[in-house]
Amino acid sequence: MAEKEKNEFVKQVAEKKYEFGFTTDVQTDIIEKGLNEDVVRLISHKKGEPEWLLDFRLKAYEYWSHLKQPTWGHVHLPEIDYQAISYYADPLAKKPKNKEIDPELEKTFDKLGIPLEERLALSGTAVDAIMDSVSVKTTFKEKLREKGIIFCSIGEAVKEHSDLVKEYLGSVVPYRDNYFAALNSAVFSDGSFVYIPKGVRCPMELSSYFRINARNTGQFERTLIVAEDDSYVSYLEGCTAPMRDENQLHAAIVEIIVKDNAEVKYSTVQNWYPGDEQGKGGVLNLVTKRGDLRGVNSKLSWTQVETGSAITWKYPSCILRGDNAVAEFYSVAVTNHYQEADTGTKMIHMGKNTKSTIISKGISAGHSQNSYRGLVRATPHADNARNYSSCDSLLLGSNCGAHTFPYMDIHNDTAVVEHEATTSKISEDQLFYCNQRGIPTEQAVGLIVNGYAKEVLNKLPMEFAVEAQKLLSVSLEGTVG
Amino acid sequence: MNSEQQYIDLYNEASGMLKRHAAEALNAVRDRAFADFKAQGFPTRKVERYKYTDIPALFAPDYGLNLNRLEIPLNPYDTFKCDVPNLSTSLYFVVNDSFYNKMLPQAGLPEGVIVDSLGHVATQKPGLIAEYYARIADTREDAVTALNTMFAQDGLFVYVPKHVKIDRAIQVINILRADVDLMVNRRVLIVMEQGAEAKFLFCDHAADNRKFLSTQVIEAYVAENASLELNCLEETHLKNTRLSNVYIEQQANSRVNHNVITLHNGVTRNRLDLVLKGEGAECHCNGCVVADKEQHVDNNTLIDHQAPHCTSNELYKYVLDDNAVGAFAGRVLVRQEAQKTISQETNQNLCATKTAHMYTQPMLEIYADDVKCAHGSTVGQLNDAAMFYMQQRGISKKEAKLLLEFAFINEVIDKMELEPLRDRLHHLVEKRFRGELDKCEGCDLCK
C-alpha cells in the first residue's frame, strides 16, 4: 500500500470512536464517595442483607484496610484513590411508578444490542443485565425455574436462597485471597447467581451484561455459579462502559463450583472502554476468577476475548481437585494504543489423571504491552497430571511489547507438562501472498489475525463468536504500518 | 537477628583488616558495595529472581572467613589429578579464594596473555583492573554480588590481548579447603580484547567434608569479534553451597558459549546476566543438571538483547531423582532497538520420583516487533514406548532407563566445543547415573 494511503487509513481508524462510549441520562442514586466501615454497612443495609453477609463484608474490609495495592504485575497500575470512588450506584432507585424498568435503561440496553424484552431476545439466551451496582432485569427467569435452575442477581439470591449463597460464597475465592478480592468482598454489589440442580442440562445460554454508567463509581460485581452433579451450563459475560477521562475501577470476583461429572463453560467478551488513543481514561479491569472442579470427571472451560480496558490484570484459574477433572483456558487478548494487559491462568492439579489445556493468543499494537502470565502446578498427589500450554504473541508495530511469564511447579514424577511460546510479527510472505491476490493490506491483516485467533474464537458460542470477530477487526484496523 | 546483620557487623569491625590485605583497586568499590548491601539486605523468596532459593537461610549459619589471608597448607598438584583424557590444558588452581601462584605452569601462553592472581595484578596494574572491576556486576541490584564485592580480596584475572588466540584451554580448579566451616568470596575477571579467543574450564571441588559457602562473581568482557567459551563444572558435596553470579558483556560480532554443569552439590544457585551490546553478537548458554538426594540447583538467567541482529540460544536440561529440587528461570529481554533478534530458549526436565520438585519459568519480554523468539519447556518422564522397545530387545529396565536418561542429557553435552571435555562428561554423567564413583580416578579431592 502506498505510504500516503496507509497513513490516511491509520488516521481514519485512530479517529474511530469507541462504539459503546455513550452515557445514559438516568437518575441514579449514588452514595457518598469514600470507603469506610459505615459505607460497607450502608451497602449491606441498602441491599437488605442478612447479618452473616454483613459480617463477611466487615471482615473483608478489616483485612483489606491493612493491605497495600500490589505492584508485581507487568502493568502500570496508577495509585488508585479508593476514597474518591463511590461504591454504590443504583439507576433503578428513581424509576417511574408502575413501570418495571426505566424506559431510558431499556433503551440503553437496546442500543447495546441486549434487548430486555423476552420476545425480542436472541433465542436461547437468558440475560442478567447489570448497570453500575444493580441488576436491571433478568430474562427467562420463570422458564428456567421450571427446570429447577436458579438464575438471578446475587442480591436476590441472598434473599431467596440464602442457604445456598452462604454455603458457596467465598469458598473458592476467600476474601483473604488478594487485595482486590478483599475489596470486592467488602463492597460487592450485584452480579449473577446460577444454580444448576443435579442432572439438569441448562436449555439455553445464560449471560450477564455488565455496564458501568455513573461517573466516579466502580463496579464490583460478584458472580457465583454452582453446577451440581451431572449438570451442564454455558455462561456468557459481556461488558461495556462510557468514555470518561478518568479511570474507572472494575474489581469483580467470579466463583464457579463444578461437581461430579458436571460441565461449565464460561465465556467472556470483554469490551470495557480502553481509554483514548493518548491512553487517557479507560477501565481498570482487576478481576479474580476461579473455578473449583470439586467433582470427579468435572469439566470447566474458560474462554475469553479481551479487547477493552486500559489495564487488564486477571487470571481465570482452575483448581482441579476431583479425579479426572478437565480444565481448559482459551484466550485472545488484544491491546492497542496505550492499553496494558497482564493476563493468563493458573491450573492447580490436585486430583489424579487431571488434564488441562492452555491456549493463549496475544496481539499487541500501538504502544501497548501484552503479557501472558500463567502457573501450572502439579501437587504431589496429582498422579498422571497432564498439561499442555501454548502461548503465541503477535506484534503489530514497533512500539508495542509482548511478554510471556509462565511458571511451572511440578511436584509429581508422573506429571507431564509442556509449554511452548512464540513471538513474531505477521509474516511478510503471508501479506505478500494476499496482496498479490488483490487483497489490500489492512484486509489481509484482518484475515491473518482472525485466522490466528480462530483456535480460540471457535470455542465461543455462535452469537458471541460473530461479535468477537467483529470486535477483533475493529480493535486492530490500521495498526499495521 | 537478621542474616545480613552479622555481615554488616563483620564489615564494620573488620573492614580495616580487609583493606590492608587487599589491593587498592579492589578496595575502591568496597564501601559502595557495603552501602548497597546494607540498603538491600538479603533477597527473600518474594524477590522474583530469588523465588526458588532461600538466600537468608543460607547465610544464617556462622561461617569463618579468611580475611587475614592465612596461608593454607595444600599443594594442589599433589592432590589433584584431572583425568580428562587427551585434554591438554594450562592448569591453574584457586584454593578457596586465593590464586595459587607457586609452581605456575610453564605452559607457553601467547605473548601478552595474563593469567594471574587478581589481587596481584590489581597491585601491579591498578589502572587495568579499575577499568573493568565491578563495572557490570551491579552491586545495587543483587545483594549476593554486593556481599562478594564487599569481601572479595583475590581470585583470578585473565587478559587476552587483541587478535590473540589461545588454542589450549585454560583449566582453573577451584578447591575448597578448610578445617572449619568456611565462607569463600571468589572473584574472576576476564577481559577479551578484539578478535581474541579463549576457552575456559572451571571445575569446583571441595577437598574437605566441611560446610562451605562460596560466593563467586565472574565478570567477562568480550570485545568485537572475540570468542569466549566458558565451561563451569561443579562436583562438590552435599554440604556445599555455591552462589555464582556470572556477568557477561558482548560487543559486536562476538561469540560466547557458556556451559554450566552441576553433578554433585548441596545448594547451588547460578545466575547469568548476559548483555548483547553490539550488533551481530551471538551467545549459546547451556546447562545440564543431574541431581539426587537433597541437592538443590537453581539456574537463573537473563539474556538482554540491546542491539539488532543478535542471536541467543539457551538449552537447560535437568534430571532429578530422590528429593532433589531443580529450578530454572530464564528471562529473554528484547529491547526496542534489538530488531531482527533470533532467540530460542528451551528447558526440559525429567522427574524420576514423586518427591523431586521442578520449578520452571521460561520468560520472554519483547519490545521489538521484527523478531523471532520462542521458548519451550517440558517436565515429564521417560517415554514408555521407548522403554518398552528396549526391554523387548533384552535390555534390562535399569539399563534402558540409563540409556534414555543418558541420551536426554547428551543433547546438552554435545553442545560443548571442547571435545575431550565432552568425552569426559559423557563418562562422568554415565557414572553419575549409575551411582558409581564420581570423582576422577587417582584424585584425592571430593570426598
| Contact assignment for A409 to B368 by CB distance below 8 Å | no
pLDDT score recorded for residue A6: 43
| Contact assignment for A419 to B376 by CB distance below 8 Å | yes
A362 vs A203: CA distance, rounded Å: 33
C-beta of residue A211 within 8 angstroms of C-beta of residue A242: no
**Which of B335, B337, B351 to mutate to probe the A interface, most A CBs <10 Å?**
B351
Whether residue B349 lies within 8 A of chain A, CB to CB, comes out as yes
Torsion of CA A399, A400, A406, A407, to 10 degrees: 70
pLDDT score recorded for residue B81: 63
Whether residue B384 lies within 8 A of chain A, CB to CB, comes out as no
Give the number of A-B residue pairs with CB atoms closer than 8 Å.
Answer: 117
C-beta of residue A343 within 8 angstroms of C-beta of residue A373: yes
Whether residue B383 lies within 8 A of chain A, CB to CB, comes out as no
Instruction: Report the chain B residue with the minimal C-alpha distance to residue A428.
Output: B370
For A410, the closest of B358, B363, B374 (CB atoms) is B358
- Closest-CA distance, A339 to chain B, in angstroms, reads 14
Examine residue B420 and state whether it is found in any structural domain, yes or no.
Answer: no
| Contact assignment for B381 to A416 by CB distance below 8 Å | yes
For A422, the closest of B361, B368, B374 (CB atoms) is B374
Examine residue B419 and state whether it is found in any structural domain, yes or no.
Answer: no
Radius of gyration of chain B (CA): 21
Q: Which helix (H) or strand (E) holds A440?
A: none
Whether residue B382 lies within 8 A of chain A, CB to CB, comes out as no
B152 residue type, one letter: A
Examine residue B414 and state whether it is found in any structural domain, yes or no.
Answer: no
Q: What DSSP string runs through A46-111?
A: HTT--HHHHHHHHHHHHHHTT------SSS------GGGSBS-EETTTTPPTT-SS-HHHHHHHHH
Is pTM beyond 0.90? Reply is no
| Contact assignment for B361 to A424 by CB distance below 8 Å | no
Instruction: Report the chain B residue with the minimal C-alpha distance to residue A410.
Output: B358
Residues of A in contact with B378 (CB under 8 A): 416-419
Residues in a beta bridge with A42 = none
- Closest-CA distance, A12 to chain B, in angstroms, reads 23
| Contact assignment for A415 to B379 by CB distance below 8 Å | yes
Query: Which residue in the block uniquely carries the three cell numbers 494487559?
Result: A341
CB-based contacts of B94, cutoff 8 Å, min separation 6: B100, B155, B156, B172, B173, B174, B175, B186
B418 vs B200: CA distance, rounded Å: 9
| Contact assignment for B361 to A420 by CB distance below 8 Å | no
**Domain boundaries, position B94:** 3-382
| Contact assignment for A406 to B357 by CB distance below 8 Å | no
Examine residue B434 and state whether it is found in any structural domain, yes or no.
Answer: no
- Closest-CA distance, A424 to chain B, in angstroms, reads 5
Confidence band for B268, pLDDT divided at 50, 70 and 90? very high
A446 residue type, one letter: G
**Which of B359, B378, B381 to mutate to probe the A interface, most A CBs <10 Å?**
B378
For residue B205 the three cell numbers come to 571441588
A275 residue type, one letter: G
Structurally, how many domains does chain B consist of? 1
CA dist list (Å): A470 to A139, A241, A277: 26, 18, 20
pLDDT above 80: residue B2: no
Confidence band for B161, pLDDT divided at 50, 70 and 90? very high
Question: What ipTM was assigned to the predicted interfaces of this complex?
Answer: 0.80
For B364, the closest of A380, A400, A404 (CB atoms) is A404
Question: What crossing angle do the helices spanning B143-151 and B3-20 adopt, rounded to 10°?
Answer: 30
- pLDDT tens string for chain A (481 positions)? 444 544 454 444 434 556 677 777 766 778 888 889 999 999 898 888 899 999 999 999 999 999 999 888 888 888 888 888 888 887 766 555 555 666 776 777 776 666 666 545 555 667 777 777 677 677 777 888 888 999 888 888 999 999 999 999 999 999 999 999 999 999 998 788 999 999 999 888 888 888 777 777 788 889 999 999 999 999 988 877 667 677 788 899 999 999 999 999 998 888 888 888 787 888 899 999 999 999 999 999 999 888 888 899 999 999 999 999 999 999 988 888 889 999 999 999 999 999 999 999 998 888 899 999 999 999 999 999 999 999 888 888 888 889 999 999 999 888 999 888 888 888 888 889 999 999 988 888 888 888 888 888 888 777 677 777 777 766 665 555 4
| Contact assignment for B366 to A407 by CB distance below 8 Å | no
Examine residue B334 and state whether it is found in any structural domain, yes or no.
Answer: yes
**Which of B366, B371, B381 to mutate to probe the A interface, most A CBs <10 Å?**
B366
Instruction: Report the chain A residue with the minimal C-alpha distance to residue B322.
Output: A413
For B380, the closest of A399, A417, A420 (CB atoms) is A417
- Closest-CA distance, A138 to chain B, in angstroms, reads 44
Q: Domain segments of chain A: what residues? A: 3-476
**Tally of CB atoms within 10 A around A242:** 18
For B365, the closest of A399, A403, A407 (CB atoms) is A403
pLDDT score recorded for residue B226: 96
| Contact assignment for B381 to A398 by CB distance below 8 Å | no
For residue A167 the three cell numbers come to 454455603
Confidence band for B144, pLDDT divided at 50, 70 and 90? very high
CA dist list (Å): B195 to A418, B133, B192, B307: 41, 21, 8, 19
Residues in a beta bridge with A356 = A327, A387
If we measure between CA atoms, which residue out of A360, A347, A294 comes closest to residue A318? A347
A370 vs A364: CA distance, rounded Å: 6
Quick one: CA dihedral B72, B59, B3, B300, positive or negative? positive
| Contact assignment for B353 to A413 by CB distance below 8 Å | yes
Q: What is the pLDDT of residues B192-244, one digit of tens each?
A: 999 999 999 998 888 888 899 999 999 999 999 999 999 999 888 888 999 99
CA dist list (Å): B20 to A314, B68, B119: 55, 9, 12
- Closest-CA distance, A375 to chain B, in angstroms, reads 9
Half-sphere exposure of A158 (CA within 13 A, CB side): 23
